[in-house]
Amino acid sequence: MSLGVAKEDFWQLTARSTIRERFQTIFNKELLSDVKVVVRDSQGGSVSKKIPAHKFVLAISSPVFFAMFYGELAETKDFVEISDCEYESLLELLRFIYSDEANLNPDNVMQLMYLGKKYMLPSLVDRCSAYLQQNLSASNVFHVLPAAQKYEEKELLDHCWKVIEKETEEVVKSDGFVTIERSVLEELVEKDSLNIKEVELFKAVDCWAGKECEKQGLVEEGAVKRRILGERIVKGIRFPVMAEKDFADVVLDSDMLTHKETCIFMKYFNSVLKTPVGFSEAKRNVHSRIISRFRSLEYGWQYSGMRQFNTIAISVDKNMKLHAVRLFGSENNEYSVKLRVQDVNEVVVATGAGDFLSKLVQSEIGNYQGFEIVFDPPIALQENREYSLVAEITGPPSWFGVNGRSCVVHSGVKFSFCKYWFEEDVEEGQFPEFLFTLD
């Protein structure tokens, strides 16, 4: 060390060939630090923790930090207090600034999205939005939707509504449903595409109103719940599409409708009145449900020789309509497919053919590259009858499913799968998902 420099001062030369690696080295370190970020410790209540940081690194990443340290009203103190977040979340924010990495999880992603917005870090916000979209489900969608609205994240908001429309029955049973704002409930009941029976939607709305009565210390009775809901929500329920029995059993007992409205509907159900003025008679366009038969995914399925023919046999224990099947592909590749669906007597009941460009599919088994073959009209599958699907596929190697299940129950329907012909196995292969509706 002839230059009079200690050995530890040569830290830049040890496996740190990029500026990112060098920034990672000084992250959360006293080395060269010229500011401390003070934040409350989520484990210690009012106790504060200090994170060593570097004004220059923060400033080149965030316009807010730039103004804070180098603007006209720059801070002269050697510490910055941040009181609107917890230590773990702020540490991940700084980790992202220093390394473009963040350890996202369900407990911190919302706060990191908030911090990303506050400190003008759009790439972090995008990362949080993508994480939430990938992990969105019927059980958490109403926790995510308010944040998507607040931060004006349109793509995330649209994805929330897609989940709500496709999985309405499960969504309204989630813990988050009774916590939503009335404005969200107004938008929900006016949607044309909800995957739920109208009487079940009414039950959910009635439950929401009951919880609001409880919160406000009001008597839970029909007239009070109607006032809390407001006319927009009540008129958004499509009572005319209900079965008369459901209307009599559920709606009348709620005592939410006026005497005049009750008379109008009873006349309507008995064909005395043609139109119940003020209430929609349009059925909602029910989305198809999706069943996945694999537990995990792999890449490298080859289409050569007899492997061009991919087959599976399927049976269901309830009458249903099959709207589409999904097949695997690979990124930005095109596949030529000839598909036929046939009954147990090998009578063809539907076909599909064409060239299909693979695209990203978001699924409960994970994201994969694939495409859909849609049946128009949908195929009516009869209960306890076996059908076989035979797809002749040509194209480059694709994703494929592994750890397949021979039996899957979804929405009260039992799907059974078995090997057909000589190629496709239940354990692995094609036909990852089926889109269906119940009769």
pLDDT tens by residue, 27-53: 889 888 899 999 877 665 667 889 999
Same domain, 420 and 296: yes
Phi, psi dihedrals of residue 381, rounded to the nearest 5°: -95, 125
- Where in the sequence is the domain holding 205, given as residue range(s)? 148-269
Q: Which residues pair with 79 in a beta bridge?
A: 36
Backbone angles phi, psi at 245, to 5 degrees: -65, -45
The distance of Cα 131 from the centroid of its chain, to the nearest Å, equals 10
Q: How confident is the model at residue 11 (pLDDT cuts 50, 70, 90)?
A: low
Domain shared by 420 and 299, yes or no: yes
Same domain, 299 and 433: yes
pLDDT at 248 over 60: yes
Pick the more confident residue, 45 or 192. Answer: 192
pLDDT mean over 57-62: 94
The 10s digit of each residue's pLDDT in 145-169 is 999 999 999 999 999 998 998 889 9
Paired with 313 in beta bridges are: 388, 418
Kindly indicate the confidence band of residue 306, based on its pLDDT and cuts at 50, 70 and 90: low
Kindly report the average pLDDT of the chain as a whole number. 89
Angle of the 87-99 helix axis to the 109-118 helix axis, nearest 10: 60
Both tokens assigned to 67: 């103004």
Confidence at residue 202, expressed as pLDDT on a 0 to 100 scale: 97
Q: What is the mean pLDDT of residues 259-287?
A: 86
> CA 343, CA 363: separation in Å to the nearest integer?
28
102 & 222 share domain: no
CATH number at residue 322: 2.60.120.820
pLDDT of residue 1 exceeding 50, the answer is no
pLDDT at 439 over 80: no
Considering the domain boundaries, does residue 302 fall inside one? yes
Indicate which CATH number applies to the domain containing 25: 3.30.710.10
Mean pLDDT in residue range 188-212: 93
Domain tally for the chain?
A: 3
Does residue 2 fall inside a structural domain? no
User: Residue 401: beta bridge partners?
Assistant: 297, 429
User: What mean pLDDT do residues 366-382 have?
Assistant: 89
Phi, psi of 332 (to 5 degrees): 60, 30
Which pTM does this prediction carry? 0.64
Task: Report yes or no on 295 lying in a domain.
Answer: yes
Express as a percent the part of the chain with pLDDT over 70.
92
E strand segments, 72-184 = 79-86
Rounded-to-integer distance, Cα 354 and Cα 337, Å = 6
